[in-house]
Every structure is written in structure tokens, then in C-alpha cells.
Structure 1
Amino acid sequence: MRYYIITGEPSGDMHAANLVSELKSLDDNSIIRAWGGKRLVSEGVEISKDIKDISFMGLWSVIINIGVIKSNIEYCKKDLLAFKADALILVDYPGFNLKIAEFAKKNGIKVFYYISPKVWAWNKSRIYKIKKYVDYLLVIFPFEVEFYKDHGVEVTYVGNPLLDEIKKNNISFSYKESKPVIALLPGSRKQEVDKILPLMLSVVDDFPEYNFVIAGNKNFDKDYYTKFIRNDNVSLVYDQTYGLLKNSKYALVTSGTATLEAALFKVPQVVCYKTNWLTYIIGKLLIKINYLSLVNILLNHLVVKELIQLELTKENLRLEIDSMIKNQEDIISDYNKIINLLDKKGASKNAAKFILCN
């Protein structure tokens, strides 16, 4: 079969690459073209567009690049038809991918959506487009099955592909720790890092028995992070987030997928989030969920403390780190429940088998 895959960020590139590995093992005649990055390249996939050229982060970046985005959409449509795909596989990246799903559907190309847009959190209007233009929706969280069923959409739960990546155990960590490590994962958006990282670092002197290690994002150079650091026992590593989590005792994590990754590595955490007030108010109006972190959403109760906006202060963070340390066994017990929920013995393989059978 001829597969055309579209992803738009590094996490999607990772999951798409693991999916491609399984597709190739099951389909000797597979021919694959994709929008992706270095992980898909490592699987021998022909790349149509590199994600570094199509990833626009934040509303302002989208606005000033709107012409480029429209041009990319038109290029993708032409490239998809020229490739003569049997199947289109969309991986997350909903703003772009739902537009291509509509085009593919109208042109008789079978549409698979792997890793659903988070419509259960916000922008439920996308459900209509998914229902109309997506032939098969493969989801990675068990609660999404019931959510979509309530909205008249049949989905298939394949398990969570983060577990596939972690189980490969292809993890490096160059930092040599002399004390137990508290990992700092301040996120990838500058406006969030600017507000969150200084608060994370404000508690360093209160916990001298630990080393604090920042998971650096390649979007920012070393000088950017260094300007925040005022303590001796703070270090910085790049492209080693999994290695850092594997070797950490605790973590302070900006909300997002990283909260789930910390849970899968069984690292007790405090979730931190702070942004500018306009973004926060808009988010409060749009996001209709009880919790911000995936860890708490999955079990529908407070597993890890969330310090959001005004609650994220030095004093509150210090208190919650103490509480986390005290209650770490309960946290890890809940993490084990999450792992059992998400582990379907190979999400990537399950997804590949489903695609081949449909």
C-alpha cells in the first residue's frame, strides 16, 4: 500500500516513526511519503516537508505566517494527489490535518487519524469535521472512547504510544549526578518558560540535598537558560528528557504531555503552569475540563498537585514539594494504575494492524 503521513511537531514525528516501523514489518510492499522530521527519516521515509519548516508556535507566529501556512496546505493537496496514496494517516496536528482530511475524503482517499485532537478539552466544534471527513479514528486514551461515543463517533483505542518509546529503552543521559535529582521541565513556549522557570528555580536553595537539572529545549540556546540560573546546584541538558526523568527522584513539570511522561517513568511531580493573563483568561473560557494535567485527567482525581497561575508561587511550590516527597508512595501507586490503563502491549503495532486490516 501507499501511505501518506502528516505530522507537524517532534512528538508526532516520534509516534509516526514507531508506527512506520510496525507498518513496514507487516507490509513488505509499503511505500511511504510523509511530512515529518529526523525520526521518520531514520525509518527510511521519503520526506515531503520537514517539520522544522512548518511548525509555528503560538498565536502570533501563526498570524504572521498565515501566507506560508496557506501555501503549505495547497502544496500538500497537490503532493497527496501526485503520490496516489491509498491511505492518508494523520498524526495529531489538528489545525492543519483536518483541512487535509476534508480534501482527501472528497478525493476518495481513505483517512486514518492517529492520536486524536484533544476535542474533549477544547474546540469541540472539530468533532463535526472528524465525523464527516475521518474514516477511522485511533485514540490513545481510554476515556476518549466514551467521549466520542457520546458524540456519535466510533473510535478504536490502541493504547498509548509513549509506552512504546519508553520500552525501547534507547535512553541516554550524560549528566553525572552527585546527589538525587529533581528534574525541571519548564516547557517549550518562551512566554511560559519566562514565567515558570524562574519560579521553579526559586526553591533550589530550600532543597540543598538535591541537584536540579533543567530539560532544555532546542528552540532556546544555552545563554537563554543561563540567565535564569543563580545557584551552583543547577545544571542543563538538551535532548535527554527521558534520560533525565529515568534518573530523577522528583520533578517539577509544566503541564502537557510531559506530565504523563513523568508518570510513566514513575517520577513524583508537581505540575506548574503560568502564562500571561490574556492567554489564561481565554484558556479558562475555552477549556472545559476539571484538571490540567493528563495524570489527573486519566484517573479523574487529584494524583499530583497542580499550581496554576496565581497559585504558582515560591512558598506554595516549596510546600507542595515537601508534600510530594511525603506522599510519593501514594503517587506512584496511582501511576501504576495509569500504566495499566494505557498499556495495550504495543500501541504502534495495534495501530498498524488496524490500518492494514481496514
Structure 2
Amino acid sequence: MRYFLVAGETSGDMHAASLMKGLLAVDPEAEFSYFGGDAMAAVAPGMVMHCRDLAIMGFWEVLMGLRKILRNLKTCLRAIEDFQPDVVILVDFPGFNFRVAKACKERGLPVYYYIAPKVWAWKERRVERIRAYVDRLFIIFPFEVEYFRGKGIEAIYEGNPLLDELNISPLAAGESEEFFALHALDDRPKVALLPGSRVQEIRATLQRMGDLSVDYPDYQFVIAAAPSISVDEYAQVLDEFPDLAIVHGDTPG
């Protein structure tokens, strides 16, 4: 089969890469085309656009970047038309992916949504779009089965990919000493700092996060850096707050 996937963020790239591996296990002749990142590219060729070129956050940023969003959408739909997939798989990233889903539905293409938007917490009106545009919805929280059933949508739950990644992490394997040594971590209690995988949100939040290392010196604050973002983006705050630690490209999605 031919699969077109859209993953617009680092976490989506990692989860989509795992999905591609699973698809190849049951469909060795699978062909892929995708908007994604380095993790997906490591599984199979077929990248149309890198996810780092898709991510935009904030009201004003979206407004100012509207032309770019529409251009990316046009590129995506043209790539889908050229590739002629058997199914389109959308991974989270609802702001962009609902537009793709609507266009694909209008073209008669099957649309699968992997990792449903958290509509039970934010923008519940998006349920109507899921019902209208999505043929199969795959979820990662067991309680979502009943939630979506109550909305007239039969969602499919097969587990949470993040838990799978945690189960094979060095810490789960009892290799914490090696992991700590590799990333220059000491024996203080750890607090993970998660500034996100978009340059805009990293720049907006990391300075405030750095202040915590000064306010609470008995704890070691560790930045979980997104593998798709250059370590240079973190350099300024690391220079300003030398007690901060960073783990780059070695954290579960």
C-alpha cells in the first residue's frame, strides 16, 4: 500500500516513525510520502517537507504566517495528488491537519487520524471536524474510547507509544549511571524542563525556566531538548544559567 503521512512536530515525527516501522513489519512493500522529520527519514525515504518548516505557534505568529501556512497546505495537497496514496494518515498537529483532512475527504481519500487532538481538554468543537473528515481515529488514552463513543465516534485504542519508548529507555533498563554520566547529570533530585519542539516556544519559555535553577539550587533542572532543534538555540540560557543541564536528542517523544 501507499501511505501519505503528515507529522508537523518533533513528537509527531517520532511517533510517525514508529508507526512506519510497524506498517513495514506487516506490509514490507509499503511506500511512503510524508511531511515529517529526521526520525521518519531514518525509516524510509519520501520526505516532501521537513516538520521544522511547518511549526508556528501563537495568535500573531499564525496571523503573520498565514501565507506560509496556505503555501504549505497547497504543497501538501499537491504532493498527495501526485503520490496517489491508498490512505492519508494525519498525526496530531490539528491546526494544519484538519485542513488536510477536509481536502482529502472532498477528494474521496480515506483519512486516518493517529493521536487524536485533546478535544476533551481544549476546543471540543473540533469533534465535529473529526466526525466529518476522519474515517478512522486512533487514540493513545484508554478513557478516550468512551469519550469519543459518547460523541458518536468509534475510536481505536492500541496503547500509548510514549509508554513503549519509556519502557526501552536507558533508565528503564537500569542504565541510569551511564545515562547520567553521558549527560553530565549529578545526584541531586531531577526536575525535567520541557520547553517544547518549536523555536518560538523555546525562546518564549526557556529564560523563565532557567530562573528555577537559581531559586531551587537543591534540585538539578534538566532541559529535555528536541532533537530537531539545534543545540545553539539553548546556548544563551545555558551560558546564563550554568547550573542547568541539557539532554539533547536522547529523550522519549
User: What does residue range 224-239 of structure 1 map to in structure 2 within 5 Å?
Assistant: 224-227=237-240, 229=241, 233-239=243-249
Alpha-carbon offset, residue 58 of structure 1 = 2.6
Alpha-carbon offset, residue 8 of structure 1 = 0.1
Instruction: Give yes or no for contact 2:210–2:237 (8 Å, CA) kept in 1.
Output: no
Q: Which residue of 2 aligns with 1:213?
A: 222
Q: Which residue of 1 aligns with 2:152?
A: 152
User: What does residue range 58-207 of structure 1 map to in structure 2 within 5 Å?
Assistant: 58-169=58-169, 174-188=182-196, 189=201, 190-204=203-217, 207=218
Alpha-carbon offset, residue 211 of structure 1 = 4.2
> What amino acid does structure 2 have at the position aligned with 1:198?
D
Aligned mates of 1:22, 1:145 — CA distance in 2: 22
User: What does residue range 1-80 of structure 1 map to in structure 2 within 5 Å?
Assistant: 1-80=1-80
C-alpha deviations, 1:106-137, integer Å up to 9, x for none? 11111100000111111111111110110000
Q: Closer, same or farther in 2 for the Cα pair 1:166/1:83, shift >3 Å?
A: same
C-alpha deviations, 1:231-255, integer Å up to 9, x for none? 6x5433323335xxxxxxxxxxxxx
For structure 2, the 5+ residue unaligned runs are 172-178
Counterpart of 2:73 in 1: which secondary structure? helix
Q: Which residue of 2 aligns with 1:296?
A: none
Alpha-carbon offset, residue 98 of structure 1 = 0.8
Q: Closer, same or farther in 2 for the Cα pair 1:21/1:157, shift >3 Å?
A: same
C-alpha deviations, 1:28-50, integer Å up to 9, x for none? 22111111000000001310111
Q: Closer, same or farther in 2 for the Cα pair 1:64/1:6, shift >3 Å?
A: same
> What amino acid does structure 2 have at the position aligned with 1:24?
L
Q: Closer, same or farther in 2 for the Cα pair 1:170/1:37, shift >3 Å?
A: farther
Instruction: Give yes or no for contact 2:238–2:244 (8 Å, CA) kept in 1.
Output: no
Q: Closer, same or farther in 2 for the Cα pair 1:67/1:151, shift >3 Å?
A: same
> What amino acid does structure 2 have at the position aligned with 1:193?
L
Aligned mates of 1:118, 1:6 — CA distance in 2: 18
Larger CA Rg, structure 1 vs 2: 1
Alpha-carbon offset, residue 187 of structure 1 = 1.7
Aligned mates of 1:2, 1:77 — CA distance in 2: 15
For structure 1, the 5+ residue unaligned runs are 243-260, 262-358
Moved more, 188-197 or 81-90: 188-197
> What amino acid does structure 1 have at the position aligned with 2:158?
V
C-alpha deviations, 1:192-229, integer Å up to 9, x for none? 3333431353111xx2xx544333453623123322x2
Q: Closer, same or farther in 2 for the Cα pair 1:211/1:104, shift >3 Å?
A: closer
Q: TM-score, normalised by structure 2?
A: 0.85
Counterpart of 1:241 in 2: which secondary structure? coil
Instruction: Give yes or no for contact 1:90–1:114 (8 Å, CA) kept in 2.
Output: yes
Q: Closer, same or farther in 2 for the Cα pair 1:168/1:178, shift >3 Å?
A: closer
Alpha-carbon offset, residue 147 of structure 1 = 1.2
Q: Closer, same or farther in 2 for the Cα pair 1:199/1:180, shift >3 Å?
A: closer
Q: Closer, same or farther in 2 for the Cα pair 1:203/1:36, shift >3 Å?
A: same
Aligned mates of 2:225, 2:78 — CA distance in 1: 37
Q: Closer, same or farther in 2 for the Cα pair 1:4/1:234, shift >3 Å?
A: closer
Q: Which residue of 2 aligns with 1:337?
A: none
Aligned mates of 1:213, 1:2 — CA distance in 2: 41
> What amino acid does structure 2 have at the position aligned with 1:239?
G
Q: Closer, same or farther in 2 for the Cα pair 1:59/1:197, shift >3 Å?
A: farther
What is the aligned-residue identity percentage? 34
RMSD of Structure 2 on Structure 1 (CA): 2.2
Q: Closer, same or farther in 2 for the Cα pair 1:104/1:177, shift >3 Å?
A: closer
Alpha-carbon offset, residue 176 of structure 1 = 3.8
Counterpart of 2:192 in 1: which secondary structure? strand
Aligned mates of 2:187, 2:211 — CA distance in 1: 22
Q: Closer, same or farther in 2 for the Cα pair 1:61/1:225, shift >3 Å?
A: farther
Counterpart of 1:19 in 2: which secondary structure? helix
> What amino acid does structure 1 have at the position aligned with 2:134?
V
Counterpart of 2:16 in 1: which secondary structure? helix
Instruction: Give yes or no for contact 1:34–1:46 (8 Å, CA) kept in 2.
Output: yes
